[in-house]
Amino acid sequence: MTGQDTPNAAAELAGKIALVTGGSKGIGLAVVQRLAAAGAHVFVTGRNQADLDTAVQSLDGAGTGLRGDVTKPEELEAIFEFLSHSGKTLDVLHINAGGGGFAALHELTPEDFDETFARNVRGAVFTLQKALPLLNDGASVIITGSSSASGGKASFGVYAASKAAIRSFTRTWAVELAGRGIRVNNVVPGPTATPGLRGLAPSEAAAPTLLDKLSQTIPLGRLVQPEEVAEAVLFLASDRSRFTTGSELFVDGGAAHS
């Protein structure tokens, strides 16, 4: 590759429009900041208005906040109605909103199951469906998966299954949208140093023990940093990955394959 072929990382998304769901904190916040730094204007969704306002303020005018919960059809509809009425089309869609908690099989309730699949699967499915008319040909769709989908972790079965479902949908959507040149890929973090991960601990006092235990499961010996996931998302959003679709890009320090 010659120097002229090397992309300018500071501006490789210049003039592009991106939408990141669940972008007000954690991995999503790191992603919106990285995409904005690369020149994109980023629409950011989140459920908490205060967190959303803080996220948008950090983008120095390169972002727009859209409060909404992707598990609620009327709020998801409102997000895409706003985008449609604004006249904006999308070059990048990062479906990041999601989450889950610990629950062993004997503890699991129908409500636990429904909530996790609503956030991680139904929310992703209908986010992409609603986005289809706004996605430019050649757009990049990135969906946040999880290294949990590649193995068995006690008490994390429903969350892992929901992310395995997303992996399957990604492969199907990559085929369905190939005719428009739209690429669909998974970014797959391992345990990541975010407020959401700390929140899995039964109490704040117990959080350091949980994080230390999770670090010990990663061959590289530490938690993933949100900024490291954001760099992978930028790669998948950019022309550097122009012939990559239906794939999983692991950012997990080797956790899924150890």
Token pair in block for residue 121: 């699967």
CA 112 – CA 108 distance, rounded (Å): 6
Q: Which of 156, 159, 169, 173 is catalytic?
A: 159
Is residue 159 annotated as part of the catalytic site, yes or no? yes
What is the 3-state secondary structure of the chain? CCHHHCCCCCCCCCCCEEEEECCCCHHHHHHHHHHHHCCCEEEEEECCHHHHHHHHHCCCCCEEEEECCCCCHHHHHHHHHHHHHHCCCEEEEEECCCCCCCCCCCCCCHHHHHHHHHHHHHHHHHHHHHHHHHEEEEEEEEEECCHHHHCCCCCCHHHHHHHHHHHHHHHHHHHHCHHHCCEEEEEEECCECCHHHHCCCCCHHHHHHHHHHHHCCCCCCCCECHHHHHHHHHHHHCHHHCCCCCCEEEECCCHHHC
Integer angstrom CA distances of residue 181 from 60, 91, 174:
31, 11, 9
Q: Are strands 63-67 and 41-46 parallel, antiparallel or unpaired?
A: parallel
Residues classed as catalytic: 159
